[in-house]
Structure 1
Amino acid sequence: MTPSRITKSEVDKAQPRAADYILWDTALKGFGLKVTKAGTKTYVAQYRTAGGRSGTTKRVTIGKHGSPWTAETARDEAKSILGLVATGSDPASDKRAIRDMPTVSALCDAYLVDGVGLKKQSTIDTDKGRIERHIKPLLGKKKVSEVTAVDIRKFLKSVADGETAGVTKTKARGKAIVKGGRGTATRTVGLLGGIFTFAIGQGLISDNPVRGVERYPDRKNERFLTLEEIAALGVTLDRAEAEGVNKTALAIIRLLLLTGARRGEIEKLRWSEVDLPGRRLKLLDSKTGQKNIPLSSVAVDYLTRRKLSVEPAATFVFPASSGGSYFTGTPRIWSVLRMSAGMPDLRIHDLRHSFASVGAAHGTPLLVLGEILGHSDHSTTQRYAHVAENPANAAADLIGNLIHSALTRKPAVTDNGR
């Protein structure tokens, strides 16, 4: 085609022909208007890669004529594209790479398949929940390479402010209550950091947008019950039992306090994992893999009585009322009990922390506490260091007696008879 300066009038005059053609601009080399035989008018920028005549000719589509692309706005965009070429960039390849770049949603799906490493299934399930309920709704449609630290800060605030809060369906009759909040925001951004690290390993990006983003303090592990509070909880448990509240849930809660175990470890506990003569729970699987939990004499007595109260052929220590599985209704009962006890902020996992803090406050060495709790990393047990005072022996018996005495409001019995 005969070159001419591309203006609105030239664009309006350009008519379709038997074949597509390009009207090249006389003032800006490489800027053109492509007209198809169907009459579509599209602005383009064309250039050669490094190498002069031996370089490869490439073309970038700017956009169709019309808002926002007029002859002048398209000319400005072409100047930007051709300016990048002058600095050694290859805009066509860059644009193709962005087009082919996966979305954050697709990256998350790939991470759950190939990026979780040796994570426990329970941890993977938690990650999946945070991905589906927070990450995908807020960032899922973005291209991985387009996410910036600004986006992460905005995401952090949005989750903290409850923008993703709601109720989601989990099963045919199940539901999950999504609350958001600062703790959830901080932990989900931590997960995002791992997901973007996975993206770096896959060669998708070179920098992690989460790096350097300041998060809210995560205070999830700072709630410890005092012996006085445990005594108040004991009163609540006794009252609940007298009022006919589910005895299995109450038994699980008491055993959580007496062992420092995780809820899932007690709810799923099988009689084959209970070694009463050896005073241990020999868990085949837990958050940290196989582990043994030392039992106090109080916990042994408790489980001995429990064994006499269930069917001899029962597989689980706390079986469900039907279906042959284990009891899973503890959280529902707990949500009512903690309100009755005047402790609305107390999570069921805090019973585990309370077991540890009672031991630390009464002299149990942190290494011994770590063994009882099954910590694979001793640094995890250091959170209880601020309540430790004097050395002590027979940690499980000491802690069990103290907690049992508080629950039942009886004088504690220690090794020296005090």
Structure 2
Amino acid sequence: MAILKISAATVDGVMKSARPNKTTFYFDADLKGFGFYRTPGDVGTYFAEFRPVAGGSKKRLKLGTVGTLKATEAREAARKAIANAALGKDLAQNRTDERASGTVKQLVAAYISDKAMKESTRSFYKITLAKHIEPQIGSTKAVAVTRVDVQRAHSAMSKKAKYSANRAMALLSAAFVWGAKRGYVPEGMNPAGRIDRNKEEARERFLSADEMARLGDALREAETIGIPHRPSDSKHAPKEKNRTIYGPHVTGAIRLLMLTGCRLREILHLRWAEYDEKRGLLLLPDSKTGRKTVVLSAAAQGVLDGLPRVGKFVIAGHSAGTDHEAPRADLKKPWAAIAGRAQLSDVRLHDLRHTFASVGAGDGMSLPIIGKLLGHADAGTTQRYAHLHVDPVRAAADAIAGKIADAIGGK
């Protein structure tokens, strides 16, 4: 053991001297407990020694290696560690606890598993964790992640999917709030709480009468002679264009989306037992907003009554009628083909729901009624269609202003 004034020059001198046969310790002449040691492998490491509790055993906290950490930086770190020890704070134990704590992935996974939520939401969260959070900061200790780490992760996620990056931040923030209440992370810790998120603009795409007519033509073609395949540029491709015929459950699902304003999963997961044909209702036990009753039009009932009953689900999937029947997963491929045929490639299936609402608003139906038809839990959600609700408002304004004008002698 040697005592010297630890500085950049003295440490450099020690490291350039002959390698020791065994690990050699050097203590600072001014700050008691601060030092560094050099191993036979020629690695120098700064440390701080202290007693966390008076009379307790001495502990040594590694601060960093020589070359990575400057002597002045190591001195300041040692000063803080020794001062905290005097106040009863054991930084060495803190680091041990930190290493033993769970990762961000484990924290979010625990939140998804234990928090009460809809199964569809749980499934979405699992995908968000696997695709966006885990690749960026999943292996980082939850107690060690910083706001800077999360902001960088959000920026990286945003390069692939801007909106999904925002959803990932919302999930991460909720997981930290949940974890803090249960002691998984320090109280009040939420590095995702104030992250700058990507600006989102509500998409408003409604089908015009002409576009609805084109879609109707494409649906009839799909279920009769079929949608022609896209022509190939290959000289070996057959000259005759092959066609794909889509069964009544595919075209029926699309028609039901248009005629009810339901969400995609509400139609794909719909069971025959939930269809009250006498009263013309769909009694959904579990929608996005909870239990929901859908009032059916005569046109929607006509579609339902015309569908073959193959299994327990209205829209039969590949496993329909089997012991392990499951609802159809999606309509991505058939919708792409049918929408493309109707020259509506920019239209999403969810836009059919918007179209249902826009037709109602354009025809003067009240926003509360439209919200009831769509199953909106929050009236504010229906307000996005307010700008389409102009004619009835103008009629009311004309009626009121007309009476006032008559009273004051206006023309």
TM-score above 0.5 = yes
Letter in 2 for 1:32: G
CA shift, 1:84, in A, is 5.3
* Further displaced range: 328-337 or 82-91: 82-91
Kept after mapping to 1: 8 A contact 2:284/2:293? yes
CA shift, 1:356, in A, is 1.5
> Take 2:199 and 2:73, find their aligned partners in 1: how far apart are those partners?
46
- CA 125–329 in structure 1, closer or farther in 2 if over 3 Å, else same: closer
CA shift, 1:231, in A, is 2.1
Letter in 1 for 2:140: K
Q: Deviations over 1:365-394 (max 9, x none)?
A: 2222222222223332222222224669xx
Match of 1:125 among 105, 123, 130: 123
Structure 2 gaps, min length 5: 227-244, 394-411
CA shift, 1:42, in A, is 4.6
> Take 2:382 and 2:221, find their aligned partners in 1: how far apart are those partners?
34
Structure 1 gaps, min length 5: 163-179, 393-418
- CA 251–191 in structure 1, closer or farther in 2 if over 3 Å, else same: same
**Identity across aligned pairs (percent)?**
35
**1:169 — aligned with what?**
none
- CA 76–351 in structure 1, closer or farther in 2 if over 3 Å, else same: same
Q: TM-score, normalised by structure 2?
A: 0.76
> Take 1:161 and 1:368, find their aligned partners in 2: how far apart are those partners?
40
**1:189 — aligned with what?**
169
CA shift, 1:192, in A, is 2.2
CA shift, 1:134, in A, is 0.7
> Take 2:71 and 2:94, find their aligned partners in 1: how far apart are those partners?
19
* Further displaced range: 268-277 or 96-105: 96-105
Matched, 1:32 2:35: yes
Q: How does 1:361-380 map to 2 (within 5 A)?
A: 361-380=362-381
**2:236 — aligned with what?**
none
**1:228 — aligned with what?**
210
**1:405 — aligned with what?**
none
Matched, 1:316 2:317: no
Kept after mapping to 1: 8 A contact 2:46/2:62? yes
Give the 3-state SS of the residue equivalent to 1:284 in structure 2: strand
Higher RCO (C-alpha 8 Å, min separation 6): 1
- CA 332–101 in structure 1, closer or farther in 2 if over 3 Å, else same: same
**1:403 — aligned with what?**
none
Matched, 1:151 2:149: yes
Kept after mapping to 2: 8 A contact 1:16/1:38? no
CA shift, 1:125, in A, is 0.6
Matched, 1:283 2:284: yes
Matched, 1:202 2:200: no
- CA 273–384 in structure 1, closer or farther in 2 if over 3 Å, else same: same
- CA 76–184 in structure 1, closer or farther in 2 if over 3 Å, else same: closer
> Take 2:370 and 2:331, find their aligned partners in 1: how far apart are those partners?
25
Match of 2:46 among 32, 43, 47: 43
> Take 2:366 and 2:57, find their aligned partners in 1: how far apart are those partners?
71
CA shift, 1:2, in A, is 5.9
> Take 1:389 and 1:29, find their aligned partners in 2: how far apart are those partners?
79
CA shift, 1:337, in A, is 2.1
**1:165 — aligned with what?**
none
Matched, 1:336 2:337: yes
Q: CA RMSD in A?
A: 3.2
**1:16 — aligned with what?**
22
* Further displaced range: 330-339 or 274-283: 330-339
Give the 3-state SS of the residue equivalent to 2:357 in structure 1: helix
> Take 2:330 and 2:156, find their aligned partners in 1: how far apart are those partners?
31
Match of 2:225 among 237, 243, 256: 243
Give the 3-state SS of the residue equivalent to 1:228 in structure 2: helix
> Take 1:365 and 1:16, find their aligned partners in 2: how far apart are those partners?
86
**1:272 — aligned with what?**
273
Matched, 1:263 2:264: yes
Q: How does 1:88-167 map to 2 (within 5 A)?
A: 90-114=90-114, 116-117=115-116, 119-162=117-160
How many pairs were matched up?
359
* Further displaced range: 254-263 or 141-150: 141-150
**2:399 — aligned with what?**
none
Q: Deviations over 1:175-203 (max 9, x none)?
A: xxxxx2x2222222222222222233234
Kept after mapping to 2: 8 A contact 1:186/1:217? no
CA shift, 1:15, in A, is 4.2
> Take 1:2 and 1:127, find their aligned partners in 2: how far apart are those partners?
57
CA shift, 1:353, in A, is 1.9
Give the 3-state SS of the residue equivalent to 2:279 in structure 1: coil
Give the 3-state SS of the residue equivalent to 2:287 in structure 1: coil
> Take 1:79 and 1:305, find their aligned partners in 2: how far apart are those partners?
79
Give the 3-state SS of the residue equivalent to 1:282 in structure 2: strand
> Take 1:388 and 1:317, find their aligned partners in 2: how far apart are those partners?
34
Give the 3-state SS of the residue equivalent to 1:138 in structure 2: helix
> Take 2:215 and 2:199, find their aligned partners in 1: how far apart are those partners?
28
Match of 2:198 among 204, 213, 216: 216
> Take 1:38 and 1:150, find their aligned partners in 2: how far apart are those partners?
35
Kept after mapping to 1: 8 A contact 2:37/2:45? yes
